[in-house]
């Protein structure tokens, strides 16, 4: 992929909506090797949470605690993909997609992590899934970890808070590369590590539900320290998996390996130096927080300036391991926000969102939203945010290969409930957004931008 003359992107969610309806932009407008796909994760769709010798994951345990999930739902059955994957693949084929991004349930393949045996029933399930996809001409794009880990590892040593997780993740990756790598060409080590760390160890809204005031009220945790300790182990776990792939598998299997990060584009609330710097800090505390160590071997200077000694340091051996880099960056993008300075400016609203980056975010400027609201907090439809984010990553990391690994309008449930009665009216905002997104994506791949 690195040898291509143009930036290669894949969008694996919302561009599906573009294909049947949008008249102003067509699939043929994109490069031939542009990949259109769909994305899921194991906990969200598989179900069968205790079938086939699978153990409990951290999400199984988390969602079974009353009050953790607003409506009490859990992934015990979900979409029953474990039993109905063949039907789902037929649906994918009917949509005309040529890639499917899914994650492997760590607890299904290694129920006890490296402290137990490989579960052959889990290997068999993913072998069948991959083979069925390939028979339909659909490229498997595999994520090793999408939030869920065996609860065994949480109970034994605190999961991402312990350096032991690096050994376990390396073992898990090794097993997957050996079992599936002969047919899988695209690997993402970890999906949205920035979300998993913030939600799990800063806000306490994801497992293991650890936090401290003012970020939240949890049974345990330290929101000022644990997110950065967990990040260190996440980054080094990624590096461990990449090193294993480079040394043992890549030359034979000819695949690519990267990571998928959650991104929000931040605009300065006002055109002042302070707010412009605040926007830069907000970006650094989200994307470079994870990509800078992987690409450059250390955390962003914007973070070092604010956090100082609270950020861990990398040993010479850890820096050596980080030297294996990555083959691509996966971009999960949903929205954009305005940013206001809280480092130099007075009267800044204080709260959980301003404590670390010293930047407050808002979706409105002078009462005008940055884009159409979606009904979800801090989430607006801002299609050109993806072009700006792609350009930002291109400039900061010397134009790495990129995939748009997630993007969609976040009103799916409400739309589906009403779409049966008013399909055209309800679908139109999504179609308009996706058409605009298509133009923004084309802009990001256009000849005017730097080339690989």
Per-residue pLDDT of the chain (452 residues; tens, 9 = 90+): 333 322 333 333 334 333 343 445 677 777 777 788 999 999 999 999 999 999 999 999 999 999 999 999 999 999 999 999 999 999 999 999 999 999 999 999 999 999 999 999 999 999 999 999 999 999 999 999 999 999 999 999 999 999 999 999 999 999 999 999 999 999 999 999 999 999 999 999 999 999 999 999 999 999 999 999 999 999 999 999 999 999 999 999 999 999 999 999 999 999 999 999 999 999 999 999 999 999 999 999 999 999 999 999 999 999 999 999 899 999 999 999 999 999 998 878 766 667 799 999 999 999 999 998 888 888 898 988 988 999 999 999 999 999 999 987 655 434 434 434 444 444 445 555 555 555 555 555 554 433 32
**Among 393, 410, 411, 412, which Cα is nearest to 402's?**
393
Output the CA–CA distances (angstroms, integers) from residue 197 to 148, 150, 190, 350, 404, in the order listed. Answer: 12, 16, 12, 21, 21
Using CA atoms, how far apart are residues 13 and 133, in angstroms rounded to an integer? 17
**Among 380, 401, 376, which Cα is nearest to 390's?**
401
pLDDT of residue 333: 94
SS3 state of residue 300: coil
Answer for the pair 231, 193: CB distance below 8 angstroms, yes or no. Answer: yes
Element (H, E) at 427: helix 423-444
Answer for the pair 11, 449: CB distance below 8 angstroms, yes or no. Answer: no
Using CA atoms, how far apart are residues 390 and 441, in angstroms rounded to an integer? 9
**Among 144, 148, 449, 191, which Cα is nearest to 331's?**
191
Answer for the pair 30, 445: CB distance below 8 angstroms, yes or no. Answer: yes
CB neighbourhood size of 134 (10 A): 13
Answer for the pair 57, 43: CB distance below 8 angstroms, yes or no. Answer: yes
How would you classify residue 433: left for phi > 0, otherwise alpha for psi between -120 and 50, otherwise beta? alpha
Using CA atoms, how far apart are residues 249 and 37, in angstroms rounded to an integer? 25
DSSP state of 310: G
* CATH homologous superfamily for the domain 10-268+325-333+381-444: Glycosidases (3.20.20.80)
pLDDT of residue 36: 86
Tell me the helices (H) and strands (E) count for the chain, helix number first.
18, 11
Residue 141 structure tokens: 């794009």
Q: Which residues are catalytic?
A: 192, 406
CB neighbourhood size of 219 (10 A): 9
Using CA atoms, how far apart are residues 325 and 265, in angstroms rounded to an integer? 24
**Among 155, 150, 84, which Cα is nearest to 118's?**
150
Cis ω on the peptide bond leading into residue 208 (within 30° of 0)?
A: yes
Phi, psi of 66 (to 5 degrees): -55, 135
Output the CA–CA distances (angstroms, integers) from residue 13 to 128, 209, 410, 429, in the order listed. Answer: 23, 28, 11, 16
Burial of 66 (0-12, 13-18, 19+ CB in 10 A): exposed
């Amino acid at each position: 992929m690195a040898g291509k003359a143009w930036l290669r992107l894949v969008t694996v969610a919302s561009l599906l909506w573009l294909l049947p309806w949008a008249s102003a932009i067509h699939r043929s407008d994109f490069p031939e090797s542009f990949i259109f796909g769909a994305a899921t994760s194991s906990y969200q769709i598989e179900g069968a949470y205790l079938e086939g010798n699978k153990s409990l994951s951290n999400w199984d345990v988390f969602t079974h605690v009353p009050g953790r999930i607003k409506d009490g739902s859990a992934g015990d059955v979900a979409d029953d993909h474990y039993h109905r994957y063949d039907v789902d693949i037929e649906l994918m084929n009917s949509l005309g997609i040529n890639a499917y991004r899914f994650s492997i349930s760590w607890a299904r393949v290694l129920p006890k992590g490296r402290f137990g045996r490989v579960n052959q029933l889990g290997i068999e399930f993913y072998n069948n899934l991959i083979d069925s996809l390939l028979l339909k001409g659909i490229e498997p794009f595999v994520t090793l970890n999408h939030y869920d880990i065996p609860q065994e590892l949480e109970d034994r040593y605190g999961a991402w808070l312990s350096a032991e997780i690096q050994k376990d993740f390396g073992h898990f990756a090794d097993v997957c590369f050996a079992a599936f790598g002969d047919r899988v060409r695209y690997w993402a080590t970890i999906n949205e590590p920035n979300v998993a760390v913030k939600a799990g160890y800063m806000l306490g809204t994801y497992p293991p539900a650890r936090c401290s005031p003012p970020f939240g009220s949890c049974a345990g945790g330290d929101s000022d320290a644990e997110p950065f300790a967990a990040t260190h182990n996440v980054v080094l776990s990624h590096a461990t998996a990449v090193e294993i792939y480079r040394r043992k598998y890549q030359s034979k299997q000819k695949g690519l390996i990267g990571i998928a990060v959650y991104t929000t584009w931040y605009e300065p609330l006002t055109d002042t130096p302070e707010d412009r710097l605040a926007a830069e800090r907000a970006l650094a505390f989200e994307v470079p927080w994870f990509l800078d160590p992987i690409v450059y071997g250390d955390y962003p200077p914007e973070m070092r300036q604010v956090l100082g000694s609270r950020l861990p340091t990398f040993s010479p051996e850890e820096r050596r391991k980080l030297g294996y880099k990555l083959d691509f960056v996966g971009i999960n993008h949903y929205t954009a926000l305005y940013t206001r300075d809280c480092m130099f400016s007075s009267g800044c609203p204080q709260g959980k969102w301003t404590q670390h980056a010293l930047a407050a975010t808002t979706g409105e400027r002078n009462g005008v939203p940055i884009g159409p609201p979606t009904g979800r907090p801090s989430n607006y439809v801002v299609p050109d945010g993806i072009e700006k984010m792609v350009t930002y990553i291109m400039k900061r990391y010397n134009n790495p290969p990129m995939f748009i690994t997630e993007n969609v309008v976040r009103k799916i449930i409400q739309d589906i409930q009403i779409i049966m009665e008013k399909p055209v009216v309800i679908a139109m905002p999504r179609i308009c957004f996706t058409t605009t997104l298509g133009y923004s994506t084309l802009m990001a791949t256009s000849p005017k931008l730097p080339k690989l």
